[in-house]
């Protein structure tokens, strides 16, 4: 069983992002970029499936600028077998990503595609769902546990009220939630080995997809600054302020 794992290059989660002066987006110049954390969880899950003998091949796919090769190399160092880079400088929105991933799925014929539930840069939480719709495959989103049994997969989903378990027939789409697993750190020997693993590079046009954006960003702004707090002199004063001044926002 082949598993496809889309991995997005995003601003590292430790970086405090800054909005560009003209409000057109986030300033990424000189900023540390890493693999989207939910995609690390996807790679880990796929590699564990291969280690258990359930998956035969794990293919990491990234879409975007040439530096996405580094993100793919990280996935290869974690244990993925090979990579595919769809290289473009165009701004990629979820529908374009889903169309490109569908074209790759048509070529590669994976039985399972494990995406992150969302990319931490734009928080769209849309690509997995759109891809499931385009492929007409069942989807198990926000997965905190998965179990492959024969021709199906059972997915435990994190929903508002608790956990929901769904049974899907393969091929299927899964999106990862935080508790699915704890991704491994790549060891130095595996980082070295990853350098020799193959990465196919192609352009959106090779897949017959026009990645032009459908949404226009009107404005990006910083969240409002928090007002300074006050120091209270005693517990009694605190209780009194809570009674008379505190408001639910
Ligand atoms: P989003 O819908 O943008 O929040 O992204 C959800 C998931 O789709 C991510 O966690 C990735 O698994 C995948 N994805 C989105 N954009 C890309 C990209 N440019 N390259 C590879 N995977 C992507």
- Which helix H or strand E contains 103, and what residues bound it? helix 94-108
What gap in Å lies between CA 132 and CA 152, rounded to an integer?
16
DSSP β-bridge partners for residue 162: 159
Using the structure block, give the residue that is written with the tokens 């997965």. Answer: 143
**Which of 128, 92, 121, 112 shows the shortest CA–CA distance to 211?**
92
For residue 171, is the peptide bond before it cis, meaning its omega torsion is within 30 degrees of 0? yes
Q: Where are the domains of the chain?
A: 2-244
Q: Coil, strand or helix: which one is 218?
A: coil
Averaged pLDDT, groups of 10, the chain, 249 residues long: 98 94 91 97 98 97 98 98 97 97 98 98 96 98 97 96 96 98 97 97 97 92 87 94 83
For the chain, where are the E strands, in sequence order? 2-6, 9-11, 33-35, 57-64, 82-87, 112-116, 139-149, 152-159, 162-169, 172-176, 199-202
Question: What is residue 112's predicted lDDT score, i.e. its pLDDT?
Answer: 98
Q: Distance (Å, rounded) from C-alpha 96 to C-alpha 102?
A: 10
* Tens-place pLDDT, residues 111-159: 999 999 999 999 999 999 999 999 999 999 999 999 999 999 999 999 9
> 94 C-alpha to center of ligand 1: Å?
7
- CATH architecture of the domain with residue range 2-244: 3-Layer(aba) Sandwich (3.40)
Look up tokens 């900023």; give the residue: 31
pLDDT of residue 159: 93
- C-alpha 184/C-alpha 172 separation (Å) is 24
Q: In this structure, which residue's CA is closest to atom 4 in ligand 1?
A: 118
Ligand 1, atom 12, lies closest to the CA of 115
Ligand 1 binding residues, C-beta < 6 A: 6-8, 36, 38-39, 61-64, 92, 94, 97, 115-116, 118-119, 122, 124-128
Residue with tokens 């989807």: 139
* pTM, 2 dp: 0.92
CA–centroid distance, 116 to ligand 1, in Å, is 7
Whole-number pLDDT of residue 134: 98
Alpha-carbon Rg for the chain in angstroms: 21
Hey, which residues does 35 pair with through a beta bridge?
9
Cβ(221)–Cβ(19) under 8 Å?
yes
């Amino acid at each position: 069983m082949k598993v496809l794992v889309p991995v997005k290059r995003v601003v590292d989660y430790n970086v405090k992002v800054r909005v560009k002066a003209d409000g057109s987006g986030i300033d990424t110049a000189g900023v540390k970029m890493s693999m989207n954390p939910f995609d690390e969880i996807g790679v880990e899950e796929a590699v564990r499936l291969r280690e258990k003998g359930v998956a035969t091949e794990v293919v990491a796919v990234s879409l975007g600028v040439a530096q996405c090769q580094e993100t793919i190399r990280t996935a290869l160092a974690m244990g993925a077998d090979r990579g595919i880079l769809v290289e473009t400088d165009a701004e990629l929105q979820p529908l374009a990503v889903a169309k490109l991933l569908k074209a790759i799925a048509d070529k590669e014929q994976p039985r399972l595609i494990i995406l992150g539930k969302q990319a931490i840069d734009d928080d769209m939480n849309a690509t997995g769902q759109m891809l499931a719709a385009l492929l007409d495959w069942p989807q198990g989103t926000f997965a905190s546990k998965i179990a492959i049994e024969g021709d199906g997969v059972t997915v435990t989903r994190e929903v508002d009220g608790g956990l929901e378990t769904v049974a899907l027939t393969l091929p299927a789409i899964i999106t990862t939630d935080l508790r699915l697993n704890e991704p491994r750190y790549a060891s130095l020997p595996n980082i070295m080995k990853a350098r020799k693993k193959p990465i196919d590079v192609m352009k959106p046009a090779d897949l017959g997809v026009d990645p032009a954006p459908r949404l226009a960003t009107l404005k990006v702004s910083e969240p409002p600054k928090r007002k300074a707090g006050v120091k209270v002199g005693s517990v009694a004063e605190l209780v009194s302020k809570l009674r008379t001044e505190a408001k639910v926002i």
